[in-house]
């Protein structure tokens, strides 16, 4: 059996290529893991803020139903759709703009009349 230096060289070249592919795969996996970890941290950081915002929006929607839809139940068969609510709030916005001093004055009167929690 004769020694073939070219075959050894070719085998080393193939091993180098395999190692490069493994290195590339590991680098890609590391990048992917870092990306997932960073996104998880962002999710955890923002989770509490999103939860508070969601709770606040639900409360505001309930107040809209309580104070607005209750007074308009003769005009509407069912609860307002989000689009109808937006139109109604747009109308109220126009009224607020035209009567802002009065609205702010009444708001302050009602706010001052509330008992202090503390």
What does the pLDDT read at residue 117?
67
Domain ranges across the chain = 11-67, 80-118
Residue 10: pLDDT over 70: yes
In this predicted model, what pLDDT tens digit does every residue of 24-80 receive, in sequence order? 999 999 998 888 887 777 777 788 888 999 999 999 989 988 888 888 877 877 778
Percent of the chain with pLDDT over 90: 46
* CA–CA gap between residue 83 and residue 54 (Å, rounded): 19
* CA–CA gap between residue 79 and residue 72 (Å, rounded): 10
Residue 13: pLDDT over 60: yes
* CA–CA gap between residue 96 and residue 56 (Å, rounded): 22
Exposed e or buried b per residue across 16-35, where buried means at least 16 C-beta atoms within 10 angstroms of its C-beta: eeeeeeeeeeeeeeeeeeee
Q: Which residue has the higher pLDDT, 118 or 71?
A: 71
Question: Mean pLDDT of all residues in the chain?
Answer: 87
């Amino acid at each position: 059996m004769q020694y073939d230096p070219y075959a050894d060289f070719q085998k080393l070249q193939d091993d180098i290529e395999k190692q490069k592919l493994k290195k590339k795969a590991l680098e890609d996996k590391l990048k992917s893991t870092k990306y997932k970890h960073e996104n998880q941290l962002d999710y955890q950081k923002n989770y509490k803020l999103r939860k508070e915002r969601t709770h606040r929006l639900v409360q505001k929607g309930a107040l809209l139903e309580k104070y607005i839809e209750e007074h308009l139940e003769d005009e509407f068969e069912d609860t307002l759709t989000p689009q109808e609510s937006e139109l109604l709030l747009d109308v109220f916005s126009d009224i607020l703009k035209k009567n802002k001093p009065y609205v702010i004055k009444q708001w302050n009167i009602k706010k001052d009349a509330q008992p202090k929690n503390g």
